Amino acid sequence: DADVTQTPRNRITKTGKRIMLECSQTKGHDRMYWYRQDPGLGLRLIYYSFDVKDINKGEISDGYSVSRQAQAKFSLSLESAIPNQTALYFCATSDFKAGSYNEQFFGPGTRLTVL
């Protein structure tokens, strides 16, 4: 089974709708991240969480909100979807050990289309 799962994998929605993307992990990591990927723009950080009570905005948080329901779950919401939020969304997790490289483990992605 995959260590980081995302649901749904694909979603088409209409402008103005509320959408929730979910992420679950079985790696036991405290740190979780949401990114969006757009062609030619790479990965941009939306929100990140270092533990259940710690939520931080990334570089492009406007129009998004998150919820860390448990160590293993981190959800991303689009309160009122707009077409320029059409993108590929990735969840990632990482451990934190001082002095270690602490790689990030990525989910398979959610392709979101807003019409």
Which residues here bind another protein, judged by CB under 8 A? 4, 31, 33, 35, 40-45, 48, 50, 56, 58-59, 90, 92, 96, 101-104, 106-109
Residue 3 or residue 17: which is nearer to another protein going by CB?
A: 3
Residue 23 or residue 81: which is nearer to another protein going by CB?
A: 23
**How far is 95 from 52, CA to CA, in rounded Å?**
14
Place of tokens 């931080």: 56
Q: Measured from the CB of residue 115, what is the shortest distance to another protein in angstroms?
A: 22
Q: Measured from the CB of residue 80, what is the shortest distance to another protein in angstroms?
A: 27
Q: Are 86 and 14 in contact (CB under 8 A)?
A: no
Residue 17 or residue 106: which is nearer to another protein going by CB?
A: 106
Measure Cα distances from 5 to 40, 60, 74, 79 in Å: 25, 23, 11, 22
Q: Measured from the CB of residue 49, what is the shortest distance to another protein in angstroms?
A: 11
87-94 and 110-114 beta bridge pairing:
antiparallel
State the number of CA atoms in the 13 A half-sphere of 14 facing the CB. Answer: 0
Q: Measured from the CB of residue 17, what is the shortest distance to another protein in angstroms?
A: 25
Residue 79 or residue 103: which is nearer to another protein going by CB?
A: 103
